[in-house]
Structure 1
């Protein structure tokens, strides 16, 4: 799609002048990351058109119409501009606020099969109730381990079914510091629903360096309509295969659910990160980018 050549102004001009720096900064954290001022505009227009074509009932202010409206109000988690804003903030300000000895820092993935929703039923997934379960797992840990902090994001991916539908899979990713792996795993297994059939509902990966921590945060904040295929492994079990993006009605359903929530609603935190997250909603984009680029320079050095 060709961009109409009108003079750039405001935050769009600011971003365009720093586009290469921002892209290089993101790629220094994770090689697959990228950034394009006009590319995000094109993504946003495609999302608006898809929602409108499907006659989805969504709030008129759920998606920004251009870069220069980003600081006027907070749009929804379906908004491509808001998604970029969140990722830039996470990799700059949030990441710089986190400290760890890296002896007990883990990337935790919690995925309960009982939370799955078949295509057409994603709207019945209750985000607030889901987050209460996550807090139920974290609260006893906070009482037992005074140095704990945790920060993460609720994500919705999908898996294809044999009858050409999809199963939406709500799950969460968390960075948790200050808790031994055995206690962490037990806490999250305790909040599995009775009808859960997950083989590995709680997955832990140690995070050993600041660079690893930044890469994990980059993964948390990718916020894409991901379709994860499954393949049969050598032991006969289903394992994750290649990931693609949702298309058609399933993508629209994902967008519609995201359009009903703000990015801040998807965030989970306890300990010091909670204070940083409280300020996120009120942070303008330009200082967020300034902090991201500053962090990138420090990362390079």
Structure 2
């Protein structure tokens, strides 16, 4: 069977030539690889459901997360109008779980954004400028690494009091250290590339080169690390809340719910099981997305 010959001026020939010339960019290829990863796609769907539930759910549930119902103390699931049961004060577990999921996701997102901004700026400047500036900046990172995380949080709590804003600051002020090291390493490998030398020859300042040429080319590893940082931040907040240093009552987070459920598990198993399952599903969703992004962006897998 012979292949039809398209006329140079025909519409089909022009479309074929445009496709051949355009090709596929790095991000187009990464997106295709990501969408072929069923684990990553499943993680994105589950995460979208969790975010939607966390935003809308508290407005739909007939109980408030801090509403005390003395007649529903230790109510089992599917009794007294409580779908997932109630706690020792008669507060609806579903309402508290939805609020806790919202708080934990917010802490994970905001603290990760704080670490992203500080870490990318710090690492890019240190790696690009180099010399004494690089040595001083990275020694500061080493000193901060040596400070125990719990000690730093306790110091903030004792000095300024306990509130949710301090949790953002405390976790974000620690998580950016690893981000800065990753960005610095990537910057060192990019600073002598041809496009950077061309930008220098064009007379751009160091700040412009970092902002317009270095940082955009760091998006691949940074995006992957962000998706893996959010679950680490959620775990850190849960650990602090489990110790009583995180979110304070009557506000709830997944960590406080798990801590309370662990204390009352012999009387009410549902107080531990449902928050724990929510935590597991949330962390697995982020981890599947992070693994999928890493596989999609890693040039060694092409």
Scaled by the length of structure 1, the TM-score of the pair is 0.26
- 1 or 2, which has the higher strand percentage? 1
Scaled by the length of structure 2, the TM-score of the pair is 0.26
> Rg bigger for which structure?
2
